[in-house]
Chain A
Amino acid sequence: MGPTSTDRALGAAGLYSALAVRGFRRYATYRAATAAGAFTNSVFGVIIAYTYIALWEARPDLGGYGVAQALTFAWIGQALLAPVGMFGGFIIDDLTERVRSGAAAIDLHRPVSLLGLRLAEDLGRAAYHLLARGLPPTVVGAVLFDLAWPNRVGTWVVAMLAVWLAVVVGFGLRYLLGLLAYWIIDVQGPAWALVVLQLFFSGMMLPLVVFPDWLRLVADLLPFRCLVQIPVDVFLSEDTGTAVAPLIGVQLLWVGVLLGAGAALTRVAVRKVVVQGG
């Protein structure tokens, strides 16, 4: 008797969770690098915090935030930087390196989908980065400044959901970019362009609530606000009175679009791939 569909589903779940655990451990190996990254995030957090204090003291209530909300934005932003892959890398490097070395051909023989494999690994990586790169700056920020914390458990739960959706959107963007390597081999230029777009339109450089209306409109039409602005908006929703359901809806929409496009393009890429080396 062959495996039933339940067996297969359980097998796949076990496989993907095993991949996620490996993703977690792979990055957990580099303790010094993690500590260095958390340190740098905290230094930037301090610098950005003082610029926001100066801005919001000059213009109280700018964009619906008070000083505490702006400071929270600064620190949550630093905490999300590594988990959402703000500076690219990770999956992009893996995909392009495997195309270049020819290992991409082996990936196509695996009993799991390329997208599922990479997503599971990246979720594991993000879990590690949330703990090791996200928590320290948040603690440093909380010790040095008065931040705005949610009071209700429900807000915390939805905020964590928004953070994980941000991770998946970040993955979707980087996966699509990595897939480009199946066509153009050297994706350095587009990878930089992605970093620029992510930094600016996510709210990382400046909260989108400060943007002029026309630029805010552009940012709202792009997926990048799912990375920082939306999770922070959910986190601050009790103070700002923002409805969280539409925000989560936007994130889910982009998760669907990006992963859908990723799956479709993977099928094309598989037929297209030119194996380098061997």
Chain B
Amino acid sequence: MADAVRGFAIIAGAWVRSALSYRTSFAIGTGVQFVITFLDFAAIIIMFSHIDAFGGFSIAQIALLYAMSGFALGAADMLVGNSESLGRRIRDGSFDQMLVRPVPALAQVAADRFAIRRIGRIAQSGGVLIWAVWAAPIDWSVARVVVLVGAMACGSVIFCAVFVMGGAFQVFAGDAAEVSNAFTYGGNTLTQYPLTIYPNELVKGVTFIVPLAFVNWYPGLYVLGMDDPFGLPGWLRFASPVAALAFVAVAAAFWRTAVRHYRSTGS
């Protein structure tokens, strides 16, 4: 584990220095990330110019859900988002080299082409979070702060696990990288809105199968002091760490299986 962190830091650090030496490119890349994610939120603002509540939530309450989900995806994308490019590494044979180096392959895959510009999405979510915390009617307590901060950490871990599974999936279906977008960016889009707008089965799916609801929905309900509209047990709102741990275990097992089944292209 220490090897992995050290290796990741060395490789990622090199990419950061490289990115920062092209200041204009870095500024444009970060700015574009910020604008793309902001347009997401602009769409929500436009929707609220026609309505007062969406799925029973005000715009400030949705902003909190939006920011929690955006932060989690942004942090995960920055840390391990490059596992998306594993398919390319497999095709050109350079994954072989990663397997023989004395740093865990996952750390190398994640740190490969580490893109510091992805901080743009995190910054945008941070901005929305500040506004949401100020504008939403939240009865602040120590417990609520702990749940909010903890959920953002756990949410990042959950999205990290999704990215890693997407990477591992490419060992079996190299060209099908886009499937993971449905769960990463798709999961982010889905959780930006209150789950009340979706059918029951979908909510069960993101609770018990791919635990995206633990990124922001259950902890968000607690922070906002709202009852679960679906009537699921109240302890779910504190269960994000459990969901994150369980999902990471699944992702780790899947990753190990994938690496064991990896067959080199031979080039």
Is B179 within 8 A of A36, CB to CB?
Answer: yes
Is B46 within 8 A of A51, CB to CB?
Answer: no
Could you say which of B28, B40, B49, B174 contacts A205, with CB atoms under 8 Å apart?
B40
* B138 in the interface (beta carbon within 8 A): no
Residues of chain A from 80 to 116 with CB closer than 8 A to chain B in the complex? none
Residues of A within 8 Å of B36, CB to CB, are 192, 195-196, 199
A70 to chain B, nearest CB (A): 12
Residues of chain A from 31 to 79 with CB closer than 8 A to chain B in the complex? 31-33, 35-37, 39-40, 43-44, 46-48, 50-51, 53-55, 58-59, 62
Given known A196-B39, A205-B39, A205-B40, contact A40–B178 (CB-CB < 8 A): yes
CB-based nearest A residue for B176: A36
Is A50 within 8 A of B25, CB to CB?
Answer: no
A106 to chain B, nearest CB (A): 24
Residues of chain A from 14 to 46 with CB closer than 8 A to chain B in the complex? 30-33, 35-37, 39-40, 43-44, 46
- Expressed in whole angstroms, the Cα–Cα distance for A252 and B196 within the complex equals 43
Residues of A within 8 Å of B7, CB to CB, are none
Is A51 within 8 A of B28, CB to CB?
Answer: no
Residues of chain A from 216 to 252 with CB closer than 8 A to chain B in the complex? none
Given known A30-B175, A33-B175, A33-B177, contact A54–B32 (CB-CB < 8 A): no
Residues of chain B from 185 to 204 with CB closer than 8 A to chain A in the complex? 186, 189-190, 193, 197-199, 202
Is A188 within 8 A of B25, CB to CB?
Answer: yes
Residues of A within 8 Å of B182, CB to CB, are 39-40, 43-44
* A269 in the interface (beta carbon within 8 A): no
B contact residues, total (Cβ < 8 Å): 36
Residues of chain B from 21 to 75 with CB closer than 8 A to chain A in the complex? 24-25, 28-29, 32, 35-36, 39-40, 42-43, 46-47, 49-51, 53-55
Flag B207-243 by CB within 8 Å of A: 1 or 0 each.
0000000000000000000000000000000000000
Given known A32-B175, A33-B177, A210-B46, contact A53–B32 (CB-CB < 8 A): no
A contact residues, total (Cβ < 8 Å): 37
- Expressed in whole angstroms, the Cα–Cα distance for A32 and B174 within the complex equals 8
A40 to chain B, nearest CB (A): 4
* A206 in the interface (beta carbon within 8 A): yes
Residues of A within 8 Å of B24, CB to CB, are 189
Is A211 within 8 A of B198, CB to CB?
Answer: no
Is A189 within 8 A of B176, CB to CB?
Answer: no
- Expressed in whole angstroms, the Cα–Cα distance for A192 and B35 within the complex equals 10
Given known A44-B186, A192-B29, contact A32–B176 (CB-CB < 8 A): yes
Residues of A within 8 Å of B47, CB to CB, are 55, 206, 210
- Expressed in whole angstroms, the Cα–Cα distance for A169 and B49 within the complex equals 31
Given known A186-B25, A189-B28, A206-B46, contact A47–B53 (CB-CB < 8 A): no
Flag A198-216 by CB within 8 Å of B: 1 or 0 each.
0110000110001110010
Given known A30-B175, A36-B177, A211-B46, contact A58–B32 (CB-CB < 8 A): no
* B181 in the interface (beta carbon within 8 A): yes
B66 to chain A, nearest CB (A): 12
Could you say which of B25, B40, B49, B54 contacts A54, with CB atoms under 8 Å apart?
B54
- Expressed in whole angstroms, the Cα–Cα distance for A101 and B49 within the complex equals 49
Could you say which of B28, B46, B54, B199 contacts A212, with CB atoms under 8 Å apart?
B46
- Expressed in whole angstroms, the Cα–Cα distance for A37 and B180 within the complex equals 10
B143 to chain A, nearest CB (A): 31
Is A35 within 8 A of B176, CB to CB?
Answer: yes
Is B176 within 8 A of A54, CB to CB?
Answer: no
Residues of B within 8 Å of A215, CB to CB, are 46
B195 to chain A, nearest CB (A): 10
Flag B9-27 by CB within 8 Å of A: 1 or 0 each.
0000000000000001100
Instruction: Give 5 new A-B contacts, CB below 8 A, not counting A36-B175, A199-B39.
Output: A50-B197, A58-B54, A200-B39, A205-B39, A210-B46
Residues in A lying within 8 Å of B, measured CB to CB: 30-33, 35-37, 39-40, 43-44, 46-48, 50-51, 53-55, 58-59, 62, 186, 188-189, 192-193, 195-196, 199-200, 205-206, 210-212, 215
Residues in B lying within 8 Å of A, measured CB to CB: 24-25, 28-29, 32, 35-36, 39-40, 42-43, 46-47, 49-51, 53-55, 173-179, 181-182, 186, 189-190, 193, 197-199, 202
